[in-house]
A and B are shown apart, each in its own frame.
Chain A
Amino acid sequence: MRILVGQGSCGIASGAKKTTAELEKQIKDKNLDINVGVTGCIGICYLEPIVDVYDDDNNLTRYVKVQPEMVDEIVEKHLIGGKAVEAYVIPPSGEDFLNKQTRIALKNCGLINPESIDDYIAVGGYSALKKALFEMDGDKICAEISDSNLRGRGGGGFPTGKKWIQVRSQAEPTKYVVCNADEGDPGAFMDRSVMEGDPHRMLEGMIIAGVATGAHEAYIYVRAEYPLAVHRLKIAIEQAEKAGYLGKNILGSNFDFKININLGAGAFVCGEGSALTASIEGNRGMPRVKPPRTVEQGLFGKPTVLNNVETFANVPEIITIGSENYKKIGTEKSSGTKAFALTGNVNNTGLIEVPMGTTLETIIFDLGGGVKNGKEFKAVQIGGPSGGCLTKEHLKLPLDFDSLKKVGAMIGSGGLVVMDEDTCMVSIARFFMNFTQHESCGKCVPCREGTHVMLELLDDIVEGRGTEDTIDTLLDLADTISAASLCGLGKTAPNPVVSTITQFRDEYLAHVVDKVCPTHNCKAFKKVRINPEACKGCSLCKRVCPAEAISGELKNPFVIDSEKCIKCMACIGACKFNAIVVE
Chain B
Amino acid sequence: MQSQKETKNCTCTCSCNDDTDYYALDEILAEYKDMQGNLIIILQKAQEIYGYLSREVIRHISQVTGYTQAKIYGVATFYTQFRLAPIGKNLIMLCQGTACHVNGSKDIEEAICSELNIQDGETTEDGLFTLNNVACLGCCSLAPVMMISSSEGEETYGKLTKDSVKEILKKIKAEAEK
Partner of B102, one of A10, A344, A435: A344
Taking a contact as CB atoms under 8 Å apart, the answer to whether B44 and A45 are in contact is no
Taking a contact as CB atoms under 8 Å apart, the answer to whether A343 and B135 are in contact is no
B154: chain A residues at CB < 8 Å are 227
Q: In the complex, A282 Cα to B32 Cα: how many Å?
A: 12
A279: chain B residues at CB < 8 Å are 40
Taking a contact as CB atoms under 8 Å apart, the answer to whether B79 and A262 are in contact is no
Interface residues on chain B, number (Cβ under 8 Å): 40
Given contacts A263-B44, A266-B79, A300-B36, contact A381 B141 (CB under 8 A): no
Segment touching A, from B10-18, B92-100, B123-131 = B92-100
Given contacts A12-B156, A266-B80, A343-B98, contact A45 B141 (CB under 8 A): yes
Q: In the complex, A280 Cα to B38 Cα: how many Å?
A: 8
Q: In the complex, A279 Cα to B97 Cα: how many Å?
A: 23
Taking a contact as CB atoms under 8 Å apart, the answer to whether A419 and B102 are in contact is yes
Chain B proximity mask over A170-191: 1 for CB below 8 Å, otherwise 0 = 0000000000000111111100
B10 CB, nearest partner CB in chain A, Å? 33
B118 within 8 A of A: no
Partner of B142, one of A45, A183, A188, A351: A45
B75 within 8 A of A: yes
Chain A proximity mask over B52-88: 1 for CB below 8 Å, otherwise 0 = 0000000000000000000000110011111000000
B68 CB, nearest partner CB in chain A, Å? 13
A34 CB, nearest partner CB in chain B, Å? 28
Most chain B CB neighbours (cut-off 10 Å) among A188, A263, A343, A432? A343
Chain A residues numbered 301-350 whose CB sits less than 8 Å from any CB in chain B: 341, 343-345, 349-350
Taking a contact as CB atoms under 8 Å apart, the answer to whether B36 and A187 are in contact is no
Residue of A nearest to B156 (CB): A13
B141: chain A residues at CB < 8 Å are 10, 45-46, 341, 343, 349-351
Taking a contact as CB atoms under 8 Å apart, the answer to whether A268 and B143 are in contact is no
A561 CB, nearest partner CB in chain B, Å? 23
Taking a contact as CB atoms under 8 Å apart, the answer to whether A265 and B98 are in contact is no
A349: chain B residues at CB < 8 Å are 99, 140-141
B136 within 8 A of A: yes
B157 within 8 A of A: yes
A300: chain B residues at CB < 8 Å are 36-37
Taking a contact as CB atoms under 8 Å apart, the answer to whether A281 and B37 are in contact is yes
Chain A residues numbered 419-458 whose CB sits less than 8 Å from any CB in chain B: 419, 423, 428, 431-432, 435, 439, 441
Taking a contact as CB atoms under 8 Å apart, the answer to whether B98 and A384 are in contact is yes
Q: Please name 8 pairs of A and B residues whose Cβ atoms are closer than 8 Å in the assembled complex, sorted by A.
A: A13-B145, A225-B138, A225-B147, A265-B43, A282-B40, A415-B98, A417-B102, A417-B140
B79: chain A residues at CB < 8 Å are 265-267, 285
Taking a contact as CB atoms under 8 Å apart, the answer to whether B102 and A183 are in contact is no
B101 within 8 A of A: yes
Interface residues on chain A, number (Cβ under 8 Å): 53
Taking a contact as CB atoms under 8 Å apart, the answer to whether A343 and B143 are in contact is yes
Taking a contact as CB atoms under 8 Å apart, the answer to whether A184 and B80 are in contact is no
A288 CB, nearest partner CB in chain B, Å? 15
A153 within 8 A of B: no
Taking a contact as CB atoms under 8 Å apart, the answer to whether A226 and B138 are in contact is yes
Q: In the complex, A160 Cα to B100 Cα: how many Å?
A: 33
B75: chain A residues at CB < 8 Å are 282-284
B51 CB, nearest partner CB in chain A, Å? 15
A384: chain B residues at CB < 8 Å are 98
Residue of A nearest to B100 (CB): A186
Taking a contact as CB atoms under 8 Å apart, the answer to whether B134 and A282 are in contact is no
Chain B proximity mask over A361-378: 1 for CB below 8 Å, otherwise 0 = 000000000000000000
B93: chain A residues at CB < 8 Å are 225
Q: In the complex, A286 Cα to B79 Cα: how many Å?
A: 11
A243 within 8 A of B: no
Taking a contact as CB atoms under 8 Å apart, the answer to whether A431 and B157 are in contact is no
Taking a contact as CB atoms under 8 Å apart, the answer to whether B142 and A431 are in contact is no
A14 within 8 A of B: yes
A224 within 8 A of B: yes
Given contacts A349-B140, A435-B135, contact A265 B158 (CB under 8 A): no
Given pairs A10-B141, A186-B136, A417-B140, 15 additional interface contacts (CB within 8 A)? A9-B138, A13-B158, A45-B139, A45-B141, A265-B40, A267-B80, A282-B37, A282-B39, A284-B74, A344-B99, A344-B103, A345-B103, A351-B141, A384-B98, A439-B135
A192 within 8 A of B: yes
Interface of B is mostly: mixed
Partner of B136, one of A12, A185, A262, A282: A185
Taking a contact as CB atoms under 8 Å apart, the answer to whether A417 and B99 are in contact is yes
A10 CB, nearest partner CB in chain B, Å? 5
Chain A residues numbered 378-420 whose CB sits less than 8 Å from any CB in chain B: 381, 384, 415, 417, 419
Q: In the complex, A293 Cα to B140 Cα: how many Å?
A: 34
B137 within 8 A of A: yes
3 closest Cβ pairs, A-B complex:
A45-B141, A186-B97, A265-B79
Q: In the complex, A495 Cα to B97 Cα: how many Å?
A: 17
Given contacts A265-B79, A267-B79, contact A187 B136 (CB under 8 A): yes
Taking a contact as CB atoms under 8 Å apart, the answer to whether B156 and A381 are in contact is no
Chain B proximity mask over A8-22: 1 for CB below 8 Å, otherwise 0 = 011011100000000
B41 within 8 A of A: yes
Partner of B99, one of A187, A265, A283, A441: A187
Q: In the complex, A267 Cα to B38 Cα: how many Å?
A: 18
Q: In the complex, A6 Cα to B73 Cα: how many Å?
A: 42
A574 CB, nearest partner CB in chain B, Å? 12
Taking a contact as CB atoms under 8 Å apart, the answer to whether A14 and B98 are in contact is no
Taking a contact as CB atoms under 8 Å apart, the answer to whether A184 and B135 are in contact is yes
Partner of A189, one of B38, B43, B140: B140
Taking a contact as CB atoms under 8 Å apart, the answer to whether A417 and B36 are in contact is no
Most chain B CB neighbours (cut-off 10 Å) among A265, A266, A268, A384? A265
Given contacts A187-B140, A384-B98, contact A282 B135 (CB under 8 A): no
B139: chain A residues at CB < 8 Å are 9-10, 13, 45, 189
Q: In the complex, A227 Cα to B91 Cα: how many Å?
A: 15
B38 CB, nearest partner CB in chain A, Å? 6
Chain B proximity mask over A81-106: 1 for CB below 8 Å, otherwise 0 = 00000000000000000000000000
Q: In the complex, A187 Cα to B99 Cα: how many Å?
A: 6
B44: chain A residues at CB < 8 Å are 224, 263, 265
Q: In the complex, A225 Cα to B80 Cα: how many Å?
A: 11
B42 CB, nearest partner CB in chain A, Å? 8
Q: In the complex, A384 Cα to B140 Cα: how many Å?
A: 13
